[in-house]
Each structure stands twice: as C-alpha cells, then as structure tokens.
C-alpha cells in the first residue's frame, strides 16, 4: 500500500482500503514469541498454512487459486492472446539422441521426428515476430513448458527475443520447465483441468505436433470445444498429415456417423511452419 500524507492507506490500484493487508499480518504473526501455543498448527493463519490448504476439503479453493494465479499474472502483463503449441515431450532436437526410446524402432521414429522440433521452433519464431508488432500483447507462444516440441516452441520465441509462456504440470517424469520459458511466465499446475483452461482462454490458434497420450488428450479437448460450439472456430492445425492419418482415421468416424461429415474440416493439416503461419495469417487477415 501507499501511505498518504494524512497517514491513511490506499491500495496500489488507488482503491481506498483502511484495513491491514494480509501480507503485513502474515509477517507480524511470524514474529510472535515462540511458545507451545504459537508453535501449534492451530495458530497458523489459515491462508499461510500449507497443511491446511492441502486438505482434501480445500480442493475447491485450490482449483480457484490455480485459475486465478495464472490469469492475474497474464492480465497484469497485458497479454491478450496466444498461439498454443501442443506436441510430444519425447521428440528430440535435430542431431540429439532419442532419450525416451525403448528400442531401435522407437529410436528411429523419434530421431526422424526431430524435423517437427525444427518446424516447431521456426513456427514459434514466426508467431513471435507477429507478437513483436503488438508489443507482445497478441500471438504469444504458449506451450506445456516441458521438453521436446514444447521446448522447441519456447526456444523459437527466444530466438526472436520474445517472451513465451510455459504451463507445466507436476508429473513423475518428463515435466520440468525447459530453459527457454520466460521465467515470469513459467507456471506450474496440479490440476490438468485448470491447466487446459489456461491453454484455451486466450487461444487464437492451436497447433498440434506428433505426440502421445497427453498430446491426443489436449487435441481432442480443443476439437470437442470447437465442434460443440463452446469455443470459437479458431484455426486448429496438425503438423504431419502422415502421422495423424496413420494413428487416427477421422474419415472412418464420419463414415460411421459418430461425427458429422463436415467435422473433419475443423482440422487443417500442414508439414511446415510457413504453411501453418499462412493459415493463421489468412484467417485473421494479418498484413505482412
């Protein structure tokens, strides 16, 4: 708070608030003499008590906190829109070994897939060059924050000197922030559902590179939102037509009748970063 000449207080946003703020009282409570009473968990301020906040009954509060923390940070930074990049954590950079391979077949496929790392990196650079024209308020790259295609996305933004966002999640493996995520936009989640919401909330386009269960989950979540009209029909672009048509028979779904024939057209297939960016540029009528 900022103290006025008359000794009264206003918040930083100018709103009059005569009450002591929570941070001040938290520090004050930490400074009381240590006694059996003050050392008891019962004495902790509720909002400063990690054990209390992690109780099962507090799950609704934790969900709200995960939604609010990232939303407030992005809003305060003036970020208005993003381009989402989904893709496999196990895809290596060109020339790097396939660290996740469990056999020779997997190694061959993953190392050949390094072409998608290169295209993801270039695509993120193209997005970031557009973002620079908006003072980095629009078209910021957002990834899952981890390795593989996610790393390539944040790295491509860094190549252009642009900030980028990483939405990490606590997993037993694979998920630590890659070094190219902008530190102040390096978020971490416990709840998959809230993380997915943040991917969608500012998305002007969604790109999906080859990946595994997590990538498929994210792709179908976005596809369902668009198909059902719960989300605007933004570009949904899949890199690598051969990969996608091999693992998912979209036309068979339409033939069987479980999706409408036109639903297949919600997806755009590309091979290169330039093709993907042209789809987005044409969709939003961006000037060169």
pLDDT at 3: 52
Cβ 131 vs Cβ 182: under 8 Å: no
Would strands 165-169 and 186-189 be described as parallel, antiparallel, or unpaired? parallel
Residue 10 dihedral angles phi and psi, to the nearest 5°: -125, 155
Confidence band (pLDDT; 50, 70, 90) for 172?
confident
Q: Give the other-Cβ count within 10 Å of 5's Cβ.
A: 5
Confidence check: pLDDT of 209 > 80: yes
Confidence band (pLDDT; 50, 70, 90) for 154?
very high
Residues in the chain: 288
Confidence check: pLDDT of 5 > 60: no
Rg (CA), the chain: 23
pLDDT at 156: 98
Confidence check: pLDDT of 174 > 70: no
d(CA 265, CA 263): 5
Confidence check: pLDDT of 8 > 80: no
pLDDT at 20: 80
Closest CA to 145 of 220, 218, 85, 63: 85
| 231-259 average pLDDT score | 97
pLDDT at 287: 80
Confidence check: pLDDT of 19 > 70: yes
List C-alpha distances in Å: 79 to 134, 141, 165, 187, 278. Answer: 10, 11, 10, 15, 23
d(CA 207, CA 115): 15
Q: Over the stretch 55-106, which tens digit does the pLDDT of each residue have?
A: 999 999 999 999 999 999 999 999 999 999 999 999 999 999 999 999 999 9
d(CA 203, CA 283): 14
What mean pLDDT value characterizes the chain?
94
The more confidently predicted of residues 30 and 166 is 166
Confidence check: pLDDT of 185 > 50: yes
Stated pTM of the model: 0.92
The DSSP element (H or E) to which 239 belongs, if any, is strand 236-239
pLDDT at 1: 46
């Amino acid at each position: 708070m900022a103290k006025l000449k008359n000794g009264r207080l206003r918040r930083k946003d100018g709103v009059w608030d005569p009450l002591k703020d929570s941070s001040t009282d938290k520090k004050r409570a930490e400074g009381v003499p240590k006694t059996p009473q003050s050392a008891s968990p019962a004495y902790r301020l509720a909002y400063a008590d990690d054990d209390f906040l992690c109780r099962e009954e507090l799950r609704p509060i934790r969900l709200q906190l995960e939604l609010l923390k990232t939303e407030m940070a992005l809003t305060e930074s003036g970020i208005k829109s993003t381009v989402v990049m989904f893709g496999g954590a196990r895809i290596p950079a060109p020339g790097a070994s396939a660290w996740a391979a469990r056999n020779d077949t997997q190694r061959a496929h993953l190392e050949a897939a390094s072409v998608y790392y290169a295209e993801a990196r270039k695509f993120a650079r193209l997005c970031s060059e557009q973002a620079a024209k908006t003072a980095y308020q629009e078209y910021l790259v957002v990834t899952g924050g981890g390795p593989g295609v996610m790393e390539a996305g944040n790295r491509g933004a860094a190549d252009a000197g642009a900030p980028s966002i990483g939405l990490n999640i606590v997993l037993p493996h694979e998920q630590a922030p890659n070094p190219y995520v902008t530190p102040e936009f390096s978020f971490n989640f416990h709840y998959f559902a809230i993380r997915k919401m943040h991917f969608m909330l500012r998305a002007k386009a969604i790109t999906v590179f080859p990946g595994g269960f997590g990538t498929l989950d994210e792709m179908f979540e976005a596809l369902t939102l668009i198909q059902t009209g719960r989300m605007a029909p933004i570009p949904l672009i899949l890199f690598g037509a051969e990969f996608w048509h091999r693992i998912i028979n979209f036309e068979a779904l339409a033939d069987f009748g479980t999706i409408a024939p036109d639903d297949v057209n919600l997806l755009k297939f590309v091979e290169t970063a330039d093709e993907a960016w042209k789809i987005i540029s044409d969709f939003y009528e961006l000037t060169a």
